[in-house]
Amino acid sequence: MISFSFAPQIVFGYGCLNRVGFLSLFLKTQNAFIITDSEIEKLGFVNKVQKYLELSGIKSNVFNEIEPNPQEETVIKGAKEFKSTNSDTVIAIGGGSVLDSAKIIRLLVKQGGKPSDYNCKTSTIMAVHEMLPLQISIPTTSGTGSEVSIVAMVTSGHEKVTILGYPLISTIALVDPKLTMSCPPNLTAMCGMDALTHAIEAFISLRINPVADMFSLQAITLIYQNLKKAYLNGQDVIARINMSLAATVAGMAFNQKSVGLVHACSHQLSGQCNLPHGLANAIILPHVLRVNKKVSMSQYVTLATALGLDLTKLSDDEASERFILEIEKLNKEIGIPEKLAECGVKESDIAAMIPNATSDISAITNPLQPVTKELVESVYRAAL
């Protein structure tokens, strides 16, 4: 038996930000709470949202304090401000950190406590059980897929706290590729590899869901064909549209099948070493692909074929390695560092990350099992 659901409603289109007022009216919004970060606000996107809301007769307040790898204290403050402004609907505009923070703010508004109370390591998916305030999620990058996922993450101390729950999912995902045109090349690269990692790990996950696999394949193909183009020319409208679609579709895939060892390792790199999530994923990905190769060979061949790689006269093992080499080549072409040490990670950081990576919820669906401390350490050392 398989079970799948592809909520939320998705509104997708170049320039569709202008629908935010209408969609807010559809949700019967009277007082919107806009969650964002200072950089997005500087780009003028928040001002546009406020103007569209005003034209629809909707009041709004702005909380712009979300940081990269957001801290627990920040979302607690956001929840307090939501309540103090008598807001009724969240509008989150930004990257994955903003969208995730918005989900958690909604949770704290309704159920109280602090984010670590809902850590999936110590509680079940049923911990998030109430109907939360409505949320319109507007991604400004093509990477996390947070606009369509039931997952949210926040940093508590040096640990990444993962929260799972169906009520966390956005009410509406408003995906406007035009908003990604201002992304600089390095951010385009990191976010694109984040989306690619989602799609690949979902495809090879232990969970079985052929519908989600179709989404993964589509996302992987789109990213392979368009990420380098978007990196080299941020004004390539078609590449940006395809990357936005790929990131959203990849999010729909991993929402059904979860991810794997790449994410288990990268979560700790973000929490312990403050590495951007997409960058950590990109560096770790080839090393985990090699670790998983012996149990995921047939899937790798399928992926290599989907990318149009020449597999003539290659064995499955050789075709799988050809696929991994192509991922490494893409990393290099878009300026991703080859090693973690280039990003400031030290050998002395590894020991503290191993236990949390081993017990990370993402490790449960990694195709190679069991995920031992020795396996995790080997990945970190290979990537260092």
Buried b (16+ CB within 10 A) or exposed e, 107-142: bbbebeebbbebbbeeeeeebbeeebbbbbbbbbbb
Is 139 among the domain residues? yes
* pLDDT at residue 101 greater than cutoff 80: yes
- Find out whether 202 and 254 touch, Cβ atoms under 8 Å: yes
Is 366 among the domain residues? yes
* pLDDT at residue 84 greater than cutoff 70: yes
- Find out whether 357 and 259 touch, Cβ atoms under 8 Å: no
Q: Are residues 302 and 316 in the same domain?
A: yes
Is 3 among the domain residues? no
Q: Are residues 140 and 241 in the same domain?
A: no
User: So what's the pLDDT on residue 108?
Assistant: 97
* pLDDT at residue 157 greater than cutoff 90: no
* pLDDT at residue 125 greater than cutoff 70: no
Q: Write down the mean pLDDT value for the chain.
A: 96
User: So what's the pLDDT on residue 7?
Assistant: 75
Q: Are residues 157 and 240 in the same domain?
A: no
Is 143 among the domain residues? yes
130 falls in which pLDDT band (50, 70, 90)? Answer: confident
Q: Are residues 357 and 341 in the same domain?
A: yes
| Lowest model confidence (mean pLDDT) among 29-33, 154-158, 225-229 | 154-158
Q: Are residues 167 and 64 in the same domain?
A: yes
Output the domain CATH number for residue 328. 1.20.1090.10
Query: How many angstroms separate the CA atoms of 310 and 315, rounded?
Result: 12
Last residue of a domain, one of 148, 180, 212: 180
Is 4 among the domain residues? no
Output the domain CATH number for residue 73. 3.40.50.1970
Does the pTM exceed 0.75?
A: yes
Is 192 among the domain residues? yes
Query: How many angstroms separate the CA atoms of 177 and 325, rounded?
Result: 29
Which of 352, 342, 344, 346 minimizes the C-alpha distance to 376? Answer: 352
* % of the chain surpassing 90 pLDDT: 92
Q: Are residues 137 and 193 in the same domain?
A: no
The CA R_g of the chain, rounded to the nearest whole Å, is 20
Last residue of a domain, one of 164, 180, 196: 180
- 117, HSE (Cβ side, Cα atoms, 13 Å): 11
Number of domains in the chain: 2
* pLDDT at residue 69 greater than cutoff 70: yes
Tokens of 76: 């607690």
Q: What is the DSSP letter of 131?
A: P
Q: Are residues 119 and 243 in the same domain?
A: no
Q: Are residues 284 and 238 in the same domain?
A: yes
Place of tokens 């629908």: 19
Domain range enclosing 54:
9-180
Report the residue count for the chain.
384
Tokens of 123: 């509680």
Q: Are residues 131 and 234 in the same domain?
A: no
Query: How many angstroms separate the CA atoms of 206 and 366, rounded?
Result: 6
Helix, strand, coil shares, percent, the chain, to 5: 60, 10, 30
Q: Are residues 199 and 69 in the same domain?
A: no
Stretch 252-263: mean pLDDT: 96
* pLDDT at residue 272 greater than cutoff 80: yes
* Own/partner pairs, 264-267, CB within 8 angstroms, 24+ separation: 264/357, 264/358, 264/360, 264/362, 264/363, 264/366, 264/371, 264/376, 265/353, 265/357, 265/376, 265/379, 265/380, 265/383, 267/153, 267/160, 267/162, 267/356, 267/357, 267/360, 267/362
